[in-house]
Amino acid sequence: MSRREVAQRHGEVAPGPDEPVPSPGAVEQTTVTSTPASTPALPPKPSRVTATLAAVATGAVVLAATAGLNISWTELGDVPGRVVEYLLLMFADPNWEKLPRALFETWRSISMAWLGAIGCVVVSIPLGMLAASGMGPAWLRVGLRAIFAVIRAVPEVIIALVLLTVTGLTPFTGALALGIAGIGTQSKWVYEAVESAPTGATEAVRAAGGSTAEIARWAIWPAVAPVLMSFALYRCEINIRTSAVLGLVGAGGIGSMLSNYTNYREWDTVGMLLIVVVVITMVFDLISGSIRRRIMEGARVRDVDRTR
C-alpha cells in the first residue's frame, strides 16, 4: 500500500463534523492516474489538496477530541480486566429467582412502548399529512416542520423529566413521554412518505373535484398506508429500547429494576436482567421485522433464486 493510499484511508476513516469527506471516487482515480505521467495523452492528475487538507483537519479534530477526554490512559490497561471480572460476576451464575418479577416489569416496559407508539402514530399521521407539501397551507407546513425539528432535538429523557411533575413516577408518564418524543421523527417520516407517493391518484381526485381532505382519504391514504404501518411497527421497536432508558429515570419497567439492582451491586441479578432485556428486544425485533417485510414486500413469491 503506497503512502498516498495510507493518507487517503486515514482521511476516510475519520470524517469529522466540519470538513468535506473525500469523495468515494477518489480511490479509483488514484489507481487510474498512478501510471507514469510521461505519456502526454493522460489528463493531468486531479488536485488532491482539498482531500489532504480535509484528512489532516479530520485527524486534528479527532486527536483534539481524544486528548480532551480527560481519561487517564495509563489506567486503561486495567479496564479489560475489570470488565471481564464484572462480566463473570454477572453471567457466570445469573440469579434466576427474580425472573417472575423481571417478566412483570418487562410487560410494563412493553406496555409503555406499545401505548406510546399508538399515541405517537395517531397524532403524527394527521400532523405529518398536513405538513406535506401540497396538503396544508405553507405557513402551517413551515410551523409544523419547525415543531417537529424541535421535538426531534429534545431527548426523550428530558421530556419524561418534565412530564414527571404532571403525572408522577408512573409508567403512564413513560408512555406519554414516548408518545410525545416520537412525534418529531414519526411525522417527518409521514410527510416524506406522502411527498414521495406517486401523484397520479392525487391529480385524478383533484380533477374529479375532490377537496384536500378527500385527496388525503382517497388518493394519499391508500398509497402510503402500508409504509405508515411499517413505520408504526418500527416506532414500536424503537420504543422498546427507549422504554428501558426511561425506566432509568424512574418511569418504571425493566429499566428501573436494572438501575436499582446496579445500584445495589447485585451483579448476578443485573446479569439476569440484561439477558432478559437482550432476549426480549431481539425477539420483538424479529417478530416486528418479519411483519414489516410482509407488509412491504407481500407474501414470499415462489420463484427460482437467481441471485446466487
Enumerate residues 87-106 that contact other proteins by CB under 8 A. Answer: 104-106
Instruction: Examine residue 168 and tell whether it contacts other proteins (CB under 8 A).
Output: yes
User: According to CB under 8 A, which one of 48, 56, 169, 172 is a site residue for other proteins?
Assistant: 172
Q: Which stretch binds other proteins (CB under 8 A): 21-29, 39-47, 136-144, 198-206?
A: 21-29
Instruction: Examine residue 23 and tell whether it contacts other proteins (CB under 8 A).
Output: yes
Tell me phi and psi for residue 284, to 5 degrees: -65, -45
Closer CB to other proteins, residue 11 or residue 128?
Answer: 11
Which one-letter DSSP state was computed for residue 96? G
User: According to CB under 8 A, which one of 150, 208, 213, 287 is a site residue for other proteins?
Assistant: 150
Closer CB to other proteins, residue 202 or residue 256?
Answer: 256
Cα 6–7–8 angle (5° rounding)? 90
User: According to CB under 8 A, which one of 270, 272, 288, 292 is a site residue for other proteins?
Assistant: 270
Rg (CA), the chain: 26
Least separation in angstroms between residue 132's CB and other proteins is 19
Site string for other proteins, 193-232 (x = CB under 8 A): ----------------------------------------
Enumerate residues 24-83 that contact other proteins by CB under 8 A. Answer: 24, 27-28, 61-62, 64-66, 68-71, 76, 79, 82-83
Residue identified by cell 479489560 is 80
Distances (CA, A) of 217 to 93, 213, 224, 250, 265: 57, 6, 11, 41, 55
- Are 234 and 292 contacting, i.e. CB atoms less than 8 angstroms apart? yes
Q: Which stretch binds other proteins (CB under 8 A): 151-159, 208-216, 217-225, 297-305?
A: 151-159
Alpha carbons 3 and 284: distance in angstroms, whole number: 47
Instruction: Examine residue 299 and tell whether it contacts other proteins (CB under 8 A).
Output: no
Q: 3-state DSSP helix/strand/coil percent for the chain, to nearest 5?
A: 75, 0, 25
Least separation in angstroms between residue 74's CB and other proteins is 12
Distances (CA, A) of 239 to 66, 281, 296: 32, 10, 21
